[in-house]
Amino acid sequence: MFNSTVLEVIIALIFIYLLYSLLATIIQEIISTYLGLRSEMLKKGITRMLGDEIDDMTLTDSFYNHPLIKFLGEKKSHNKPAYLNSRNFSKVIIDLLRGENVQPEQSYASIIEQSLNTGKTLWGGGSDISPQTLSYLKSLWVDAQGDVKEFANLLEQWFDETMERASGWFKKKTQFILFFIGLTLAVIFNIDTISIVGKLSKDPKLATQLADNASVYIQNNKEILNQHLVLQDSTENKEVYKDQLDSIITRSNKLINTANDLVQGSINDSNKLLGLGWSNDPNDFCWWRNILGWIITALAISLGAPFWFDLLNKFMKLRGSVASPTSDDREKKQG
């Protein structure tokens, strides 16, 4: 079991990692927003589903040319959506298969079956369906017993399963980006993990103060944490369509303001307590220790804010279960 001093040091260090992970996550989200990384990853998943080869983009192009998909996309900088739910996916696929000339209350199961038999969609000018995709669509149609509603349900399941993998692709890419953002932040603010642990170990009161600050921060910033801890997981198709309504500039400005508040507030306060930053004293710099400390910090930040938030909550509960010695206990110990 941890003694109280070790526990306070661990909580303080986790709190520092959480603050800088939040900042790195916000910076990564700004980069993703401007570069359209989520829309690219979504298109990669769609392409995997609708095309067998890298150059075979005909069905994928037809999918993205559908009015519904165009409506969900960013009108200016990015014309492809970053988020898509399974219901919209199945609707677009069925529309492509049945064509535009279906009348209300008309049964179009036979039309879909015709498209599958010919291997060509009927929407617009039509497009060829790649062999493997066609084979899988036919198997879903057979499993659905020719029922359009059941076919739509199977298409939605297929989409959800693929997007789970796409979420994993995005998380790997995000972790890679977060490492370099974390390394940059570590150098700029001189966040040397080795130095931080040394200071906290030598000054238990400082560790306790930071642990107390961590508790206050969690209580006062639950809304911010809940809002931004989902950024790394938002490739998954959850109810995040409100983000689609914000322009890139508006959304980025919100993120920049949040980052500025974080730096000017909790990060600045913690840095002052720990005496972090750059000094003019050359004795304060040991190149091998600092570089190693920066790399450790960057690796910690790359784990992401959700990881450190969950870990901090667990250690806070452990801290609460460790009873501090009473005055009677101290008197008995002295006696």
Q: Supply the pLDDT for residue 149.
A: 93
Q: Supply the pLDDT for residue 3.
A: 57
| DSSP letter string, 108-134 | -HHHHHHHHHHTB--STT--BPPHHHH
**pLDDT tens readout for residues 162-190:** 888 877 777 888 888 889 999 999 998 88
153 or 247, which is more confident: 153
- Taking 50 as the threshold, does the pLDDT of residue 246 lie above it? no
Q: Please state, in angstroms and as integers, the Cα–Cα distance from residue 306 to each residue in 70, 101, 239, following that order.
A: 32, 48, 19
Q: Supply the pLDDT for residue 262.
A: 65
Q: Supply the pLDDT for residue 135.
A: 92
Q: Supply the pLDDT for residue 334.
A: 46
Q: Supply the pLDDT for residue 154.
A: 95
Region of poorest pLDDT, from 18-27, 47-56, 207-216, 310-319 = 47-56
On average, the pLDDT of the chain sits at: 78
Q: Supply the pLDDT for residue 235.
A: 40
Q: Return the amino acid letter for 246.
A: D
Instruction: Compute the average pLDDT of residues 263-291.
Output: 70
What are the residue ranges of helices labelled H in 51-203?
58-65, 67-72, 86-98, 109-118, 131-143, 148-189, 193-202
**Local structure of residue 84 (DSSP, 8 states):** -
The model's confidence at residue 150, banded by pLDDT at 50, 70 and 90, is very high
Interatomic CA distance for residues 215 and 225, integer angstroms: 13
Q: Supply the pLDDT for residue 96.
A: 92
Q: Supply the pLDDT for residue 139.
A: 94
Are 71 and 137 within 8 A, CB to CB?
A: no
Angle between helices 148-189 and 37-50 (to 10 degrees): 140
Q: Please state, in angstroms and as integers, the Cα–Cα distance from residue 173 to each residue in 46, 82, 315, following that order.
A: 18, 15, 29
Residue extents of the structural domains in the chain: 4-36+165-324, 38-163
**pLDDT tens readout for residues 29-65:** 888 777 777 788 888 888 888 875 544 447 888 888 8
Q: Cβ contacts of residue 79 below 8 Å, gap of 6+?
A: 70, 73
Instruction: Compute the average pLDDT of residues 18-31.
Output: 85
Angle between helices 86-98 and 148-189 (to 10 degrees): 130
- Taking 80 as the threshold, does the pLDDT of residue 230 lie above it? no
Instruction: Compute the average pLDDT of residues 244-269.
Output: 58
Q: Supply the pLDDT for residue 164.
A: 84
Are 186 and 297 within 8 A, CB to CB?
A: yes
Q: Supply the pLDDT for residue 179.
A: 92
Whole-number percent of the chain with pLDDT over 70: 75
Are 42 and 166 within 8 A, CB to CB?
A: yes
6 burial type by CB count under 10 A (0-12 exposed, 13-18 middle, 19+ buried): middle
- Taking 90 as the threshold, does the pLDDT of residue 75 lie above it? no
Q: Residue 128's beta-bridge partner residues?
A: 120
The model's confidence at residue 23, banded by pLDDT at 50, 70 and 90, is confident
Q: Supply the pLDDT for residue 244.
A: 42
- Taking 70 as the threshold, does the pLDDT of residue 228 lie above it? no
Interatomic CA distance for residues 309 and 177, integer angstroms: 20
Task: Count each helix (H run) and each strand (E run) in the chain, helices first.
Answer: 17, 0
Handedness of CA 98, 99, 105, 111 (dihedral sign): negative
